Amino acid sequence: MLMLTCPNCGVTGEESEFAPGGEAHLKRHGPGSSDEEFHAYLFAKENPRGVHFERWRHANGCGKWFHAARCTATLEVFGTYSAQTTEPPKDIKDKISAKRPGWSWREVE
Amino acid sequence: MKRYSAFAVAREAFRYHMGWERAWASPEPKKKYDAIIIGAGGHGLATAYYLGKNHGITNVAILEKGWLGGGNTGRNTTIIRSNYLQDPSAAMYEKSRSLYETLSQDLNYNIMFSPRGVMMLAQTQHEVRGYTRTAHANALQGVDTEFISPERVKELCPIMNIEGPRYPVLGALWQPRAGTARHDAVAWGLARACSAMGMDVIQKCEVTGIRQEGGKVSGVTTNRGDIACDKLGIVVAGHSGQLAEMAGFRLPIESVALQALVSEPIKPCMDVVVMANTVHGYMSQSDKGEMVIGGGADGFNNYTQRGSFHHIEETVRALCETFPVINRLKMLRQWGGIVDMTGDRSPILSKTPLGNCFINCGWGTGGFKATPGSGWGFAELMAKGQSPLCDEFSLDRFKEGRFIDESVAAGVAH
């Protein structure tokens, strides 16, 4: 079972305490976007076998949203951080780079 | 290939069963094939089988990273049904169900198809309306289903508690021609038939790259060398995203874990398949007597073939309410598989941005039932570039906004 720490209230809990909310750091395309962009935003999700950034909600806790960096192949959680960002904080990126040599942050489309 | 028959069993009985040959060959890969299928699961093998049987293309290799049928083909709960809501789905799944009826004879391999009937319980008013609608849609589509009363449910499945209290059974969508089959046997029988047609089923052969020339596929790179091909079919379920990336495009798919479990074997107590979507559980009894149980998928991207404990608890808790008789059963095994979910819960059988490269994926939590139909349609698509069964399931439907929305009809179990 996944163990996550909510960065908003500091509580560490099991996965059943949280609700997954899909891919993080999406650029939300809206009116005025091209069909390609809108399609990519809605459907063409990142689906990596490895490092992944996701939104989670502390549903049975403080109720707030946050982001998590997680490996989809091993379920290792690299860390959680505030949802009020456009990319992961440096310490989390460094931690992932140390554990997954060759990994680098991609610019979000 | 020697035919399997009662006579063959008798013949072998007289010579200590020394005369059985290998069901399929293990050849070294050739330099070039007319068509390569990546993934020797049910759908990949069925595609190859119908490429040979219906379209006369037999210079085919089926490449498998692990062992034959070791992915979702060997991990599902073997349910076969076609009571879908949308027309394209009903056409595909009903074609598949009807092919299953004669598949044992076609393959000369007993796949143990058992049309024992599948019921999907309606436990809320919403589901009653939903399934009544599906029954009407099925009547128009030529799929034989009906909405039955709680009394009839109890008659068909006496071990069920239909009184509730939280979720009383208000009726069920009943498809008497649906049922189960032996999933491994489907893969084995198809592999044997492909091998007999001269195709190469190559196991432990992992594709590491897809080579292209002038916007068209020219071959694949594998851990057993480069193999050239004219046409490529990608049929790899949960790992479709990785293969698509090698081919240079992205799929509207997310991979999540779905798990199942079986109990210790008990005496026959239930001769239908019961699916209860509101409470997230479904159950049938295998020919060995084990209760085969499935539940909901994880909500997050996951490539570990494990599953998670709280989903088991949720599923088993619901089924203990519905079937009090299983309360004290011990569970024997639990396992997980990686399923490829699309936004509308319908599959993708399509051409891709890369020329002569085709993809068959997105079956999500319900691919086993579609094995022969998917192979039939996808083989036609690969051979002719167009197939009436697959037209609606193209990759560009997401961009064009013409979804085949089965998430309502399918609920959780699929």
What DSSP letter does each residue of B379-410 carry, written as one string? Answer: HHHHHHS--TTTGGG-TTHHHHT-----HHHH
Task: Tell me the CATH number of domain A3-28+35-85, given options 3.40.190.10, 3.30.2270.10, 3.30.390.10, 1.10.1370.10.
Answer: 3.30.2270.10
B398 and A43: CB-CB below 8 Å? yes
In this prediction, residues B215-227 reach a mean pLDDT of: 96
In this prediction, residues B259-276 reach a mean pLDDT of: 95
CB contact at 8 A, A48 and A103: no
Structure tokens at B220: 């694949």
B241 neighbourhood in chain A, CB within 8 Å? 47-49
pLDDT tens digits for B38-77?
Answer: 999 999 999 999 999 999 999 999 999 999 999 999 999 9
Closest-CA residue to A52 (of A40, A67, A39): A67
Any idea what the Cα angle at residue B366 is, between residues B360 and B370, rounded to 5°?
A: 60
pLDDT for residue B412 = 47
Q: How many residues does chain A have?
A: 109
Name the H helices within A1-109.
Answer: 35-42, 90-99
Q: Is the predicted pLDDT of residue B306 greater than 60, yes or no?
A: yes
**Distance, in angstroms, between B343 CA and closest chain A CA?**
7
Backbone torsion region of residue B317, taken as left when φ is above 0, otherwise alpha when ψ lies between -120 and 50, otherwise beta: alpha
What is the end-to-end Cα distance of chain A in Å, rounded? 32
B310 and A45: CB-CB below 8 Å? no
Closest-CA residue to A25 (of A100, A102, A80, A84): A84
Q: Is the predicted pLDDT of residue B220 greater than 50, yes or no?
A: yes
The set of residues, in sequence order, having a beta carbon less than 8 Å from that of B294 and lying 6+ positions away, is B77, B258, B259, B260, B261, B281, B282, B283, B315, B413
> What CATH number labels B32-105+184-253+347-410?
3.50.50.60
What gap in Å lies between CA B224 and CA B219, rounded to an integer? 13
Q: Does A66 touch chain B (CB under 8 A)?
A: no
Beta bridge pairs of residue A75: none
State the DSSP string of B77-124.
--EE----SSHHHHHHHHHHHHHHHHHHHHHTS----B---EEEEE-S
Which of B249, B254, B301 should be substituted to probe chain A, the one whose Cβ sees the most A Cβ atoms within 10 Å? B301
State the DSSP string of B18-58.
--PPPSS--PPP-SEEEEEEE--SHHHHHHHHHHHHHH---
* Residues of B within an 8 Å Cβ radius of A: 239, 241-242, 250-255, 298-304, 308-310, 343, 398-399
Q: Say how many CB pairs under 8 Å bridge A and B.
A: 57
Q: Identify the band that residue A109 occupies on the pLDDT scale cut at 50, 70 and 90.
A: very low
Q: According to CATH, where is 3.50.50.60 located in chain B? A: 32-105+184-253+347-410
Report in angstroms the alpha-carbon separations of B67 from B35, B63, B140, B294. Answer: 20, 10, 41, 23
Q: According to CATH, where is 3.30.9.10 located in chain B? A: 118-182+255-342
Partner residue facing A1 (CB), from B251, B310, B399:
B310
C-alpha atoms less than 13 angstroms from C-alpha of A6 in its C-beta half-sphere: 22
A42 and B300: CB-CB below 8 Å? no
B241 and A15: CB-CB below 8 Å? no
3-state secondary structure of B166: coil
Q: Does A34 touch chain B (CB under 8 A)?
A: no
Any idea what the Cα angle at residue B100 is, between residues B95 and B101, rounded to 5°?
A: 100
Q: Taking CA atoms, what residue in B is nearest to A34?
A: B399
H or E stretch at B253: strand B253-265
Q: Does A44 touch chain B (CB under 8 A)?
A: yes
What DSSP designation does B238 have? G
**Distance, in angstroms, between A51 CA and closest chain B CA?**
11
In this prediction, residues B348-352 reach a mean pLDDT of: 96
A48 neighbourhood in chain B, CB within 8 Å? 241, 301
Q: Is the predicted pLDDT of residue A1 greater than 90, yes or no?
A: no
A39 and B239: CB-CB below 8 Å? no
pLDDT for residue A107 = 60
**Quick one: B118-182+255-342 is in which CATH superfamily?**
D-Amino Acid Oxidase, subunit A, domain 2 (3.30.9.10)
Q: Which residue has tokens 């309410």?
A: B321
pLDDT tens digits for A2-49?
Answer: 899 999 999 999 999 999 999 999 888 888 999 889 888 888 888 999
Q: Taking CA atoms, what residue in B is nearest to A45?
A: B252
Has this prediction a pTM greater than 0.95? Answer: no
**Distance, in angstroms, between B214 CA and closest chain A CA?**
23
Which of B243, B303, B315 should be substituted to probe chain A, the one whose Cβ sees the most A Cβ atoms within 10 Å? B303
Q: What is the ipTM of this complex?
A: 0.90
**Distance, in angstroms, between A73 CA and closest chain B CA?**
5
Q: Is the predicted pLDDT of residue B413 greater than 50, yes or no?
A: no
- Domain limits of chain A? 3-28+35-85
pLDDT for residue B408 = 55
In this prediction, residues B152-165 reach a mean pLDDT of: 93
Q: Does A109 touch chain B (CB under 8 A)?
A: no
Q: Is the predicted pLDDT of residue B414 greater than 70, yes or no?
A: no
H or E stretch at B231: strand B225-234
The dihedral sign for the CA sequence B103, B105, B110, B113? positive
pLDDT tens digits for A76-97?
Answer: 999 999 999 989 999 999 999 9
Which of B65, B300, B306, B352 should be substituted to probe chain A, the one whose Cβ sees the most A Cβ atoms within 10 Å? B300
Q: Does A74 touch chain B (CB under 8 A)?
A: yes
Q: Which parts of B281-407 are beta strand (E)?
A: 281-285, 290-301, 331-342, 348-351, 357-361
In this prediction, residues B201-225 reach a mean pLDDT of: 96
